[in-house]
C-alpha cells in the first residue's frame, strides 16, 4: 500500500516524527499530504514544534513558519507561550492572530499578577511589551520598573507573610540566612528546591532539614507544599533519590544531641487520606503554562527536571524534617542568582 493511501490519522502520526524542514517539504508533495498538514484537527506540526521548544537550539525553519499556509495558526499559541523571548522579539515572523488568541498567549505565558501591566492596551501590544520587559530584566540589572522584590514566607502554623526587599540589593540566600539566624537554625544547611519552572520564571523554595527535639519547630506545611500528599515520583526518580541519600549520608548537618521523630509528623494522616486520589484532587496548571520540564505540575513530571522528590529517601531513612519557615521566591529564568 502506498504511503499516501494510508488513513489520514496514521499519515499525520508519521509526519509528526519528521523535523520541520522535512515536514515542510512533505506538505507540498501532493494534495493529500497538503490537506493532512493543513488540517487543524490532525495537526502533525505540534510534535516537531514542541521538540524544538524543548531543545536549546531551534531549527531555522521555525523562524518563518508563519508564512506557511499549511501550518495551522493554533501552533503559534504554543510557540508564543514557550519560546525564548529573544527569539520571538528579534528572530521570528509573527503571524496575524485574533485578539482572543493573543489573550490566550498572554495568560499562558505570564503570571496572573502581571495582567495589571496591560491596562487599556490591546492584548498583542501588552504581550510584546511584557515580553520585552522580561527580556530586558533578564539581561540587565535595571530595576526601574520594579524597585521592590516580593517574596513569601510559609510559617509553621500555616500562615504566610508577603514581604519585600529592595530589588537592587536583593539576594534570596542572604535574606534566608538572616531568617535562619533569627530562628537559631544557622547551623543547618540551606536546601534550595526548584518547585516549578515556567517559560520565563522559576519558583524556588528555601528551607532547612534537621532532627528537632520536638514538633514545635517542625513545619509540616513545607512538606505538603514541596511534595503534595498522594503524588509519588516515578521509579527512576526514586532510585536517583536513593543515590543522593547515599552520597549525602555523611555530609548532612545534624542538630547533634537530639532524637529522631516519628515519620508521621511530616504529613498529617488526615491530609494523606484527603488527598489519596491525586487525579481528582489536583488540577494541572495551564495558566500560566509550565515549561516542558514541569508540564504536569503539580503532578510529577518524568524526565529529570522535576526534582521536588530528589532526596526524599533521606527524609524517610535519616528521620529528617523540614524545620523553621519555608521561603518562596520567583526568579527570572536567565537571572544570574542560580
Q: Report the Cα–Cα distance between both ends of the chain, in Å, rounded.
A: 55
The pLDDT value recorded for residue 216 is 80
Q: In whole angstroms, give the CA distance from residue 112 to residue 197.
A: 15
For the segment 263-310, what is each residue's pLDDT rounded down to a tens digit? 444 455 545 555 555 556 788 999 999 998 899 998 898 888 888 887
Nearest Cα neighbor of 24 from 55, 56, 53, 63 is 63
Residues with Cβ < 8 Å from 99, sequence gap 6 or more? Answer: 122, 123, 124
Residue 124, CA distances (Å) to 85, 169, 181 in order:
14, 33, 47
> Among positive and negative, which fits the CA dihedral 115, 117, 118, 119?
positive
Count of positions (residues) in the chain = 338
Give the separation between CA 229 and CA 300, rounded to whole angstroms: 12
Per-residue pLDDT tens for 12-58?
Answer: 999 999 999 999 999 999 999 999 999 999 999 999 999 999 888 99
The string of pLDDT tens digits covering residues 96-147 is: 999 999 999 999 999 998 888 888 889 999 999 999 999 998 888 777 777 8
Cα gap 96→76, rounded to integer Å: 10
Q: Distance between CA atoms of 206 and 213, rounded to whole angstroms?
A: 22
Q: Are 77 and 83 in contact (CB under 8 A)?
A: no
Q: How far apart are CA 96 and CA 67, in angstroms?
A: 10
Residue 231 has pLDDT above 70, yes or no: yes
Average pLDDT over residues 54-82: 92
Could you tell me what percent of the chain has a pLDDT over 90? 49
Amino acid at each position: 500500500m502506498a504511503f499516501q493511501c494510508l488513513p489520514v490519522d496514521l499519515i499525520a502520526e508519521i509526519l509528526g516524527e519528521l523535523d520541520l524542514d522535512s515536514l515542510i517539504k512533505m506538505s507540498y508533495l501532493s494534495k493529500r499530504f497538503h490537506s493532512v498538514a493543513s488540517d487543524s484537527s490532525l495537526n502533525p506540526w505540534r510534535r516537531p514544534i514542541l521538540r524544538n521548544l524543548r531543545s536549546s537550539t531551534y531549527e531555522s525553519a521555525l523562524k518563518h513558519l508563519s508564512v506557511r499556509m499549511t501550518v495551522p495558526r493554533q501552533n503559534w499559541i504554543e510557540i508564543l507561550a514557550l519560546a525564548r523571548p529573544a527569539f520571538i522579539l528579534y528572530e521570528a515572523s509573527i503571524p496575524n492572530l485574533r485578539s482572543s488568541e493573543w489573550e490566550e498567549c498572554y495568560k499562558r505565558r505570564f503570571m496572573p499578577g502581571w495582567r495589571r501591566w496591560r491596562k487599556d492596551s490591546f492584548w498583542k501590544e501588552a504581550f510584546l511589551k511584557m515580553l520585552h520587559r522580561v527580556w530586558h530584566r533578564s539581561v540587565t540589572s535595571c530595576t526601574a520598573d520594579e524597585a521592590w522584590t516580593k517574596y513569601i514566607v510559609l510559617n509553621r502554623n500555616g500562615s504566610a507573610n508577603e514581604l519585600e526587599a529592595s530589588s537592587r540589593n536583593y539576594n534570596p540566600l542572604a535574606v534566608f540566612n538572616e531568617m535562619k539566624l533569627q530562628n537559631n537554625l544557622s547551623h543547618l544547611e540551606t536546601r534550595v528546591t526548584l518547585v516549578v519552572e515556567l517559560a520565563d520564571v522559576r519558583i524556588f523554595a528555601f528551607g532547612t532539614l534537621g532532627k528537632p527535639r520536638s514538633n514545635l519547630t517542625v513545619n509540616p506545611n513545607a512538606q505538603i507544599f514541596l511534595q503534595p500528599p498522594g503524588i509519588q515520583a516515578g521509579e527512576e526518580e526514586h532510585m536517583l533519590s536513593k543515590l543522593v541519600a547515599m552520597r549525602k549520608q555523611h555530609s548532612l548537618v545534624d542538630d547533634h544531641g537530639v532524637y529522631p521523630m516519628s515519620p508521621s509528623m511530616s504529613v498529617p494522616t488526615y491530609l494523606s487520606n484527603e488527598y489519596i486520589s491525586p487525579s481528582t484532587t489536583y488540577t494541572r496548571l495551564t495558566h500560566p503554562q509550565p515549561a516542558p520540564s514541569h508540564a504536569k505540575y503539580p503532578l510529577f513530571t518524568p524526565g529529570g527536571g522535576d526534582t521536588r522528590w530528589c532526596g526524599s529517601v533521606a527524609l524517610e531513612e535519616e528521620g529528617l524534617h523540614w524545620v523553621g519557615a519555608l521561603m518562596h521566591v520567583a526568579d527570572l529564568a536567565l537571572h544570574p542568582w542560580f
